[in-house]
Amino acid sequence: MMDQEKISQLSDIAKAMVAPGKGILAADESMNTVGKRFASINLENTEDNRRAFREMLLTAPGEEQYISGVILFDETIRQRTSGGKSFVEVLRAGGILPGIKVDQGLVSFNGSEVEKITKGLDGLGDRLKEYVALGAKFAKWRAVITISDSTPTPENIVQNTADLAQYALLCQQAGLVPMVEPEVLLDGNHSLQKSTEVLEQTLISLIAELKKAGVALEGTILKSSMAISGKNSGVKDTPAQVAEATIGVFKKVLPKELAGVVFLSGGQSELQATENLNAMHQLGQLPWPVTFSYARALQDGATKTWKGNPDNLLAAQRVFLHRAKMNSLASQGKYQPDMEQGFSAAAGGAATQD
């Protein structure tokens, strides 16, 4: 059992992560994922370009109004801006909490071609100590749950959620708030009902494993998928449908002492992720803070505007800040589609006017 003082410190950090009107930027993409983003703008995947990309996002003026924390990648937490300041220093100066992705990617589960588990538990305790020394205040671990005709299997759900719990306990022992992310993948042709059922099964298992491991829920953040029809289903759920299904699961399964919930966007478009989050807050007062932790759904328009060209930096940051503001409003149920005026969704959110 952890002492009460440590739990209280973790709880304070977790509360700051889900402060009203704020969310978390996921800037923790692996080098391969960044490479795919760069390929879409014909930019070479070099360390300097990755640094410039992260600098564009992390130095946007005023982002602390909407962003409470940033999940960094191992490379990024060690990098400096073109002006020589470490990214951790930049975030701290704005009152933004630095976080770190600590999982090491996916491997096949029991030889399956479909199901995966996440590697990275070996040596994790030592790595966490280093990240604390580098300034991290929270960490993230992503597991994936795949829906198909034969999956997910109960065994895969249990293995993934048990690993998340082991990671979470190690984080809390090191003084880091764990963000636990069991992503129910959007890939597939499954129905909203199937997505809802799998989300419920996954979260029931996760909460049970966290409790069994002795993880303090008041110092833990859940990074969750939304209940949503598979992207190959041909069905586009309304924001109200997504909200009702998702919050319905949360109210059945999540304990009130959980510090908060942040959503991953999981392949949704920028506007879809904002609209769905807003709809959650149209359902009345929720038992926990519920906000966003988006990667592509915060960055996509800014990336397409930036294109790796320093001359586009300010325009790209304006696009990023607009998206962050829209999600800030959505996290309070105050978003309206007409607030997008002047920003072209078709251009990935590129600004058409100031």
Mean pLDDT for back-to-back runs of 10 residues, the chain (354 residues): 90 98 97 94 96 98 98 97 97 98 97 97 98 98 97 98 98 98 97 98 98 98 98 96 98 98 96 98 97 97 96 97 98 96 52 31
Amino acid found at 348? G
Q: Which of 101, 137, 140, 223 is catalytic?
A: 223
Q: Is 181 a catalytic residue?
A: yes
Do 178 and 100 touch, CB atoms closer than 8 A?
no
Neighbours of 259 (CB within 10 A): 24
Q: Is 297 exposed, middle or buried (0-12, 13-18, 19+ CB in 10 A)?
A: buried
Q: How many C-beta atoms lie closer than 10 Å to residue 147's C-beta?
A: 22
24 strand-pairing partners: 69
Residue 138: count of CB within 10 angstroms of its CB: 26
Query: Which 3 state secondary structure label does DSSP give 220?
Result: coil
Closest CA to 77 of 56, 102, 94: 102
Residue with tokens 């400096």: 80
CB-CB contact of 1 with 32 (8 Å) = no
pLDDT at 344 (0 to 100): 57
Assess whether 223 carries a catalytic annotation: yes
The one catalytic residue among 181, 209, 218, 275: 181
Residues 165, 125: contact at Cβ < 8 Å?
Answer: no
Alpha carbons 69 and 278: distance in angstroms, whole number: 20
Domain boundaries, the chain: 4-351
Decide: residue 215, CB within 10 A, 0-12 exposed, 13-18 middle, 19+ buried.
buried
The per-residue pLDDT for 347 is 40
CA distance 116 to 235: 26
| Strands of the chain, DSSP E | 23-27, 67-72, 97-101, 106-108, 116-118, 138-145, 177-184, 221-224, 260-263, 290-292, 343-344, 350-351
Give the pLDDT score at 48. 96
User: What pLDDT was estimated at residue 342?
Assistant: 76
- Is-contact 166 160, C-beta < 8 A? no
CATH among 2.40.40.20, 3.40.50.300, 1.10.10.10, 3.20.20.70 for 4-351: 3.20.20.70
Instruction: Answer whether 131's CB lies under 8 Å from 176's CB.
Output: yes
